[in-house]
Amino acid sequence: MTTKTRLLLKFAGLTGALFLSLGVAAPQEARAELRIDITRGVVEPLPIAITSFAGAGGRDVQTGADIAKVISADLERSGLFRPLDPRGFLQTPEQLRTGDPRYPDWKALGAQALVAGNTTTGADGRMKVDFRLWDVAAGQYMHGLSYTAPAQEWRRIAHIVADAIYKRLTGEDGYFDTRVVYVAESGPANVRKKQLAIMDQDSQNHQFLTDGQTLVLTPRFSPTTQEITYMSYFNKKPRVYLFNIDTGRQEVLGDFPGMTFAPRFSPDGNRVVMSMAQNGNTDIYTLDLRTRRQTQLTDSPGIDTAPSYSPDGQKIVFESDRGGSQQLYIMDANGGGTKRLSFGEGRYGTPVWSPRGDLIAFTRQRGSSFAIGVIRPDGTGERILSEGYHVEGPTWAPNGRVIMFFKDLPAGDGRGRNSKLYSVDITGANERRVSTPLDASDPAWSPLIP
């Protein structure tokens, strides 16, 4: 996906003109009983059959097959679905295009859900993709939509279809039509090269955003997904930058008198919250992006840093050693009403509020052991999701179900940190490596792409 392309989407239920143009009676969407209950923790993956999307011929046929593969990979990676081997399918995509499923055939394969679709490229180069979802066990149609976009955006259409299937079968929003920005690392440990990189959540469409001539740290998406805030060193002094993904333009937010750390957007995108060190003390400040006015929020003798807004913008969670050890605290967005959140053994840091508002992710260090965990905003329900030699930097998928982080593995050869990205479900299940061309750290997951 090119970042300068704007996807045009046309949504239509398959009871409309599109379905009539195929010469097939429009199915009536029924109240389906098939649903994955993801509130029970670890669940058995749902067997689902995803056929190649039928095409009129040539490029459409290949694209239809590619779309099905991307949908299958997205759903399988969530850990909630088990796509079945297409080699065992007894109905062809063309048969499903013009007729109903033969439910006994799909039941014999063990499928509980079935997905089929069509692709058609018009003379203007735009592609129309529709899909249908059936409940095999109940023998009924469940859902269907149509999308229109430039043909080169077929991969993004596949992610959007996967999101629609995920939502219909789980009741929660998907997270596949998203991107991840992170710090790509290379070179020996004493001359580490760090540059901004961006990719789709499935590691495709990878791009480097900076050339690595200056050190970059802590990239974070804006709520619109079009801008990134990050920290970089200029003449050995840290600066906070805004980077526009569409244009490649970067802007200095300001030259601050002291060290600046961990910038992060407010939910409305109008402010950046960060920590600054002045006169030997590190506190949390906000910067209004419209007026460039700074407002100090904390004033304690400890180090206050790593702030993160609640989704409604009313609260801020941060880390501080004001109580003698590094712990998590919550305050009002104006700096008042500060309360301690964590009371466990070890050092707690890098807190990030879930997009749903129900959990806060954090990093915990206890001795030489690191862990990624979650805790409720009232301080209850603390759980560890992943532990390792060095795990850090949690970031949330936009639906609040999955966390991505980076993990350092002992290199032992002087190459550097040997850091990699991983994802894990909030149940602690389904931990997976996220592929990147170089070492990777400090990921930030985008909201759903508008």
- The dihedral through the CA atoms of 245, 401, 420, 319 has a sign that is positive
- Whether residue 383 contacts residue 397, with contact meaning beta carbons closer than 8 Å, is answered with no
Distance CA 193, CA 179 (A): 22
Structure tokens at 299: 């004033």
- Whether residue 411 contacts residue 417, with contact meaning beta carbons closer than 8 Å, is answered with yes
Task: Kindly write down the DSSP assignment for every residue of 27-43, as one continuous string.
Answer: PPP--------GGGSS-
- The dihedral through the CA atoms of 379, 385, 387, 393 has a sign that is negative
Question: What pTM did the predictor assign?
Answer: 0.89
The ranges assigned to domains in the chain are: 46-170, 178-448
Question: How would you list the strands of the sheet with 327-332, edge to edge?
Answer: 304-309, 315-320, 327-332, 339-340
Distance CA 237, CA 256 (A): 9
Decide if pLDDT at 313 tops 90. Answer: yes
DSSP summary character for residue 399: T
For residue range 314-354, what is the model confidence (pLDDT) as tens digits?
Answer: 999 999 999 999 999 999 999 999 999 999 999 999 999 99
CATH number of 46-170: 3.40.50.10070
Mean pLDDT value across the chain: 88
The pLDDT value recorded for residue 42 is: 61
DSSP summary character for residue 409: -
- Amino acid, res. 329: Y
For residue range 352-407, what is the model confidence (pLDDT) as tens digits?
Answer: 999 999 999 999 999 889 999 999 999 999 999 999 989 999 999 999 999 999 99
Q: Please name the fold of domain 178-448.
A: Neuraminidase (2.120.10)
Structure tokens at 345: 């053994």
Parallel, antiparallel or unpaired: strands 432-434 and 419-425? antiparallel
The pLDDT value recorded for residue 20 is: 26
The mean pLDDT of 226-240, rounded to a whole number, is 83
- Of 36-50, 100-114, 399-413, give the range with the top mean pLDDT: 100-114
The CA R_g of the chain, rounded to the nearest whole Å, is 24
In this structure, of 6-20, 124-138, 177-191, 228-242, the range with the lowest mean pLDDT score is 6-20
For residue range 180-231, what is the model confidence (pLDDT) as tens digits?
Answer: 999 999 988 788 899 999 999 999 999 999 988 888 989 999 998 889 999 8
